[in-house]
Amino acid sequence: MSEVNELSDFIRDMIKEDLATGRFDRVQTRFPPEPNGYLHIGHVKAIAMDFGVAEQFNGVCSLRFDDTNPAKEEEEYVDAIMEDIRWLGYDWEDRLFFASDYFDQLYEFALEMIKAGKAYVDDLSADEIREYRGTLTEPGKDSPHRNRSVEENLELFERMKEGEFEKGARVLRAKIDMASPHINLRDPVMYRILHEEHHRTGDKWCIYPMYDWAHGQSDSMEGVTHSLCSIEYKNHRPLYDWFLDQLGIFHPQQIEFARFNMTYTVMSKRRLVRLVKEGYVHGWDDPRMITLAGMRRAGISPEAIIKFIEHVGVGLSLSTIQHSKFDHFVRDDLNQRTNRVNGVLKPLKVVLTNYPDDQVEMMEFPNHPDDPSRGVREVPFTRELYIEEGDFMEEPHKKFWRLAPGREVRLRYGYLITCTDVIKDGKGEIVEIHCTIDPDTRGGNAPDGRRVKGTLHWVSASHALDAEVRLYDRLFTHPFPKEAEGDFTDYINPDSLQVIENAKVEPSLKDAPVGNSYQFERVGYFCVDPDTTDEKLVFNRTIALRDSWAKIEKQFQK
């Protein structure tokens, strides 16, 4: 990021101590995603920590893809992850690495471990390995293959590498202690057989390193000083340290911090993959997704996301953040950055019967009411206009202050108008409203000072542009969909997407660039979708002006 925040937390305090004591004389971090899906908002915490810490201490941060599971990894995910990180404002410069870059060296390290009697080839199945492993309260037991000779292990490992065995037939395990109180030290698997094509190495390998075997050694070879991980890897740290100590290579410091959850979302990649592959959403960049690609398409800025992550903070306990808190940061950011425009989602025609047929007046609108430096724009005003269907009520209730028969309202920056007639079709449906204007109220103010409660937005019927508007909302109706009874997909919000095909927007939006965001006055925040063409504008709703979920969230909190 261009501006470094001098943040303070327990991780930064540990790094300061490492530098002060001389344990390290520099700071190098890395962000190590697995390319098996798109990044989501939960990853931003790790990205901001890895890159932010390095920048704060005048260090460097690398991007390394931990691509050790070819069955689930794709080049598409690699490209998407890089795009997302750059979009957030971070740069790994020339430090782009892949765990697959180190496959040859990791294999050589494995041979060293075998020769030192610290690794062996095991024929137990995955289920048998779990059975032999023991429990948190009971020790494990040795595999019957644990005491194979070095020569036999070397021969079998070479045959594994050459593809002589089927998937799952054998594994290479570290030889540590099956009675260790640290369950991850009970002879963990280092290599497994996978006859899968790798997105970078092709069919060169049919054995692939496990994450725990590849991760620490990759950190070491790159010169990482501080390996920052989420809290679930705390129990893996003894193994991380053990491998590095046995090999006698440069030893980074692993430090863990807590992840966070957010209500009305799922952050598991496995569940996100299901949403995409089973068609609950229209791809990884669907604006209902919490992926960075989805939020970008929704019109959420990276600055809003980073501010939210800074608000979440860094700790050791898993926290759950209310979605409404995230929405607050999104609204606050959009309120400051977006220009105002007029957009009518469900148009109802208004005919000003005492206004000349061929007259066009240009009404002056501020682009941002709180920022005069953004200037003004001119919006055409004509005899026939569109207002929101919901801004008219033939039989208004007591607290309805907008347009109704015989009532006067203000057209924003236009005129005061009074409804004189309601025109209906043969089915009794309202098709247009007839009104008269007060010609002395141009700009929307009465010279006699009379007060008008209702103010409506509008567009000229003859100048308005047609637009498709996609009204996105939260994807789930339950704040904790993965913990709720049944499958998490049972709580998909059926109203999470509503498409309006005949919306009308003011003509200033004719050449609105894809990705640009605007506030449709009195309606919400919208951005231009990539599906926009020369013939058709498409807008995505980023968020409504007001939180319609507040009452629902309070009910669940009770």
The pLDDT confidence band at residue 449, using thresholds 50, 70 and 90, is confident
pLDDT at 3 over 80: no
Residue 487's pLDDT is 97
Burial class (CB in 10 A: 0-12, 13-18, 19+), 555: exposed
Residue 266's pLDDT is 96
Among all chains, which residue has been given the structure tokens 């965001």? 517
What average pLDDT does the segment 478-496 reach?
Answer: 96
Instruction: Evaluate whether 348 touches 433 at the Cβ level (below 8 Å).
Output: yes
What average pLDDT does the segment 143-153 reach?
Answer: 98
Q: What is the arrangement of strands in the sheet containing 207-209, beginning at the earlier edge strand?
A: 119-122, 171-174, 189-193, 207-209
Query: Which backbone phi and psi does 556 adopt, to 5 degrees?
Result: -70, -35
Among all chains, which residue has been given the structure tokens 């799952």? 168
Burial class (CB in 10 A: 0-12, 13-18, 19+), 298: buried
Query: Which backbone phi and psi does 336 adopt, to 5 degrees?
Result: -80, -35
Residue from 361, 341, 457 nearest 409 by CA: 457
| C-alpha 350 chain-centroid distance | 41
User: What average pLDDT does the structure give for the chain?
Assistant: 95
Structure tokens belonging to residue 145: 């293959």
The pLDDT confidence band at residue 4, using thresholds 50, 70 and 90, is very low
Instruction: Evaluate whether 212 touches 241 at the Cβ level (below 8 Å).
Output: no
pLDDT in tens, 513-556: 999 999 999 999 999 999 999 989 999 999 999 886 666 656 55
pLDDT at 473 over 90: yes
Instruction: Evaluate whether 342 touches 459 at the Cβ level (below 8 Å).
Output: yes
Domains of the chain: residue spans and CATH: 10-257 (3.40.50.620), 269-339+467-557 (2.40.240.10), 343-457 (2.40.240.10)
The pLDDT confidence band at residue 341, using thresholds 50, 70 and 90, is very high
Rg (CA), the chain: 31
- CA dist., res. 474 & res. 547, Å (int): 11
pLDDT at 448 over 60: yes
What average pLDDT does the segment 28-38 reach?
Answer: 97
Burial class (CB in 10 A: 0-12, 13-18, 19+), 484: middle
Residue from 143, 138, 197 nearest 171 by CA: 143
The least confident of 7-11, 290-294, 376-380, 454-458 is 7-11
Q: How are beta strands 408-411 and 361-366 bridged, if at all?
A: unpaired
Active site members: 34, 259, 269
The pLDDT confidence band at residue 236, using thresholds 50, 70 and 90, is very high
Residue from 45, 551, 10 nearest 309 by CA: 45
pLDDT in tens, 43-98: 999 999 999 999 999 999 999 999 999 999 999 999 999 999 999 999 999 999 99
Identify the bridge partners of residue 418 per DSSP, sorted by sequence position: 408, 436
Scored b (16 or more CB within 10 A) or e, 2-30 reads: eeeeeeeeebbeebeebbeeeebeebbbb
Q: 273 in helix, strand or coil?
A: helix
Residue 2's pLDDT is 38
The pLDDT confidence band at residue 467, using thresholds 50, 70 and 90, is very high
| Half-sphere exposure for 454 (CA within 13 Å, toward CB) | 24
Run of H or E residues at 244: helix 237-247
The pLDDT confidence band at residue 1, using thresholds 50, 70 and 90, is very low
- CA dist., res. 326 & res. 304, Å (int): 9
pLDDT at 557 over 80: no
Residue 446's pLDDT is 85
DSSP state of 186: S
Residue 553's pLDDT is 59
Residue from 268, 257, 329, 320 nearest 40 by CA: 268
What average pLDDT does the segment 400-425 reach?
Answer: 96
Query: Which backbone phi and psi does 486 adopt, to 5 degrees?
Result: 85, -160
Residue 447's pLDDT is 87
Residue 223's pLDDT is 98
Neighbours of 508 (CB within 10 A): 19
Query: Which backbone phi and psi does 513 adopt, to 5 degrees?
Result: -70, 145
Among all chains, which residue has been given the structure tokens 């740069």? 91
Instruction: Evaluate whether 2 touches 53 at the Cβ level (below 8 Å).
Output: no
Scored b (16 or more CB within 10 A) or e, 57-96 reads: bebbbbbbbbbbbbeebeeebbebbbebbebbebebeeee
Instruction: Evaluate whether 278 touches 286 at the Cβ level (below 8 Å).
Output: no
| Half-sphere exposure for 217 (CA within 13 Å, toward CB) | 24
Number of alpha helices (DSSP H) and beta strands (DSSP E) in the chain: 13, 27
